[in-house]
Amino acid sequence: MGLMDVVDSRTVGDMQRCPVSHHDGTWTIWGNAEARKAAEDSQTFSSRVSRHLSIPNALDGEEHQRFRRLIDRYLSDAAVNPLFPDFLDIARTVVDNLPRGEIVDAVTDVGSIVAVRCQSHWLGWSRAHEETLLTWMDENRAAARSGARSSLAAVARRFDAIIRQILDEHRALPADSSPTAALIQERIDQRSLRTSEIVAILRNWTSGDLGSIAASIGVVAYSTATRNLADNLYQADDETLDAAIDELLRIDDPFVSNRRVTTREVELGGVHIPAHERVIINWTAANRDRRAFDDPDAFAPQANREKNLVYGAGPHACPGRRISTLEIRAGLIALLEAGFRVAGEPQREAVPGGGFSYIPIVLGT
C-alpha cells in the first residue's frame, strides 16, 4: 500500500492491516496511535528533513523550543481571539460581493480570498499584495500537482521574494504597528533575528496556511451542506462551531502529511524501522483509522475529539491552530448567513494536496 492509495480520505481503507508500511524507500504511518506516537517522539522521528531553512517545522530539540516560544506569543489565544470580529467582517464582505443565484466556487471565490485577506489583516500587510498572493496560490497549487522540483523551487523563490518586499515596507514601522513589524525587531539567543529567519517564519505562517485555509473552508462548507448540518450550525455557539469544524476536517482532512526522518532504530506498529529512514506521517489516514474511530464517516465531535489529529500532536503540533479555526469559522458563518447549496459535483484536489480544488455552490437570493 503506497501513499497514492490513501492520501484521499474517500479511499482510506482499514488501517488495522497496515498501520505502518514501506514503499519505494519511504516508511508511511497510517494508523492513529502510531501517528501520535511518532509525532510525540521528536527525538526518534526528527523534523530535520528539509534542505531549506524552515522555522519551526524543520527544527528539533532546544532550538525548536526557543523559536516555538517566540512564535507562540504571536499565535496565542490572547493574541488572535480579538481578531475574530474583523475576520467575520472580511468573510461577510467576500460573500456579500458574490452573485446570487449563480454558481461560484467555494474554494477560490470564497476560501482563497478569505484566507488572503484574513492573513494580511492579521500581519498588517497592504491590500495591494492581494492579487499577487492569490496568483501565487494558483501557481503553488499547479506546482504541487505537477510534482516537478523545478516548479516547486520556482514558486518557493517567488514567495520568498514577495515576503522580502513586504519586510522592506515594514522595516521603518514601530513594533506595535503590526506583527510583521514586531517580528523584524525580535531577538533570540541575545541577537536580532536574521532576515532569512524572519522570511522562514512568515513563510511558515502564510505560504502553507493560505492554501490550507482555503481548502478547509471548502471542506467544511461542502460537508455542512451535504450532511444537512446547516440549520444546526447556523444557530450554534462558537464552541460548538469550532468542535464541528475540527470534526469535519477529521473526516475529510486536507492537511495530508508531514515528513520525518528516524534518528535511531525503532519499532512502530509491529514493524522495525532502521535509523536514517524517510518517514511520512499520513494525517488523513490516521484520522480515519477504524481502530480509533468505529465509523470514520460519522459526525461525532465530542466522541472523536481526543483522537483527532487534524493539527498534529507533540512538540510540532500546529502553532496556528487557533487562528486557522477563527478564519475557517468566519468563512463558514458568512456562507451560512448567505444561505448556500452545493450545485454540482465537486472536484478533488490532486495528490499531494487534500480537500477539493473546486466546489460549485449557489448562494441564496
- Tell me, letter by letter, the H, E, C secondary structure of the chain: CCHHHHCCHHHCCCCCCCCEEEECCEEEECCHHHHHHHHHCCCCEECCCCCCCCCCCCCCHHHHHHHHHHHHHHCCHHHHHHHHHHHHHHHHHHHHCCCCCCEEEHHHHHHHHHHHHHHHHHHCCCHHHHHHHHHHHHHHHHHHHHCCHHHHHHHHHHHHHHHHHHHHHHCCCCHHHCHHHHHHCCEECCEECCHHHHHHHHHHHHHHHHHHHHHHHHHHHHHHHHCCCHHHHHCCCHHHHHHHHHHHHHHCCCCCEEEEEECCCEEECCEEECCCCEEEEEHHHHCCCCCCCCCCCCCCHHHHHHHCCCCCCHHHCCCCHHHHHHHHHHHHHHHHHHCEEECCCCEECCCCCCCEEECEEEECC
pLDDT of residue 17: 61
Grid coordinates belonging to 164: 522580502
Task: Say which amino acid occupies 349.
Answer: E
Asked, as a colleague might, if the bond just before 274 is cis with ω within 30 of 0, I would say no
Cα→Cα distances 120→2, 113, 125, Å: 38, 10, 5
pLDDT value, residue 9: 43
Assess contact for 89 and 327: CB atoms under 8 A.
no
CA separation (Å) from 123 to 30, 79, 257, 280? 35, 12, 26, 31
C-beta separation of 290 from 176 below 8 A = no
Per-residue pLDDT of the chain (365 residues; tens, 9 = 90+): 333 344 444 444 444 468 999 999 999 999 999 999 999 999 999 999 988 888 999 999 999 999 999 999 999 999 999 999 999 999 999 999 999 999 999 999 999 999 999 999 999 999 999 999 999 999 988 888 888 889 989 999 999 999 999 999 999 999 999 999 999 999 999 999 999 999 999 998 987 778 899 999 999 999 999 999 999 999 999 999 999 999 999 999 999 999 999 999 999 999 999 999 999 999 999 999 999 999 999 999 999 999 999 999 999 999 999 999 999 999 999 999 999 999 999 999 988 889 999 999 999 96
119 Cβ contact partners less than 8 Å away, ≥ 6 residues apart:
125, 205, 206, 209, 210, 213, 327
Bridge partners, 267 (sequence order): 272
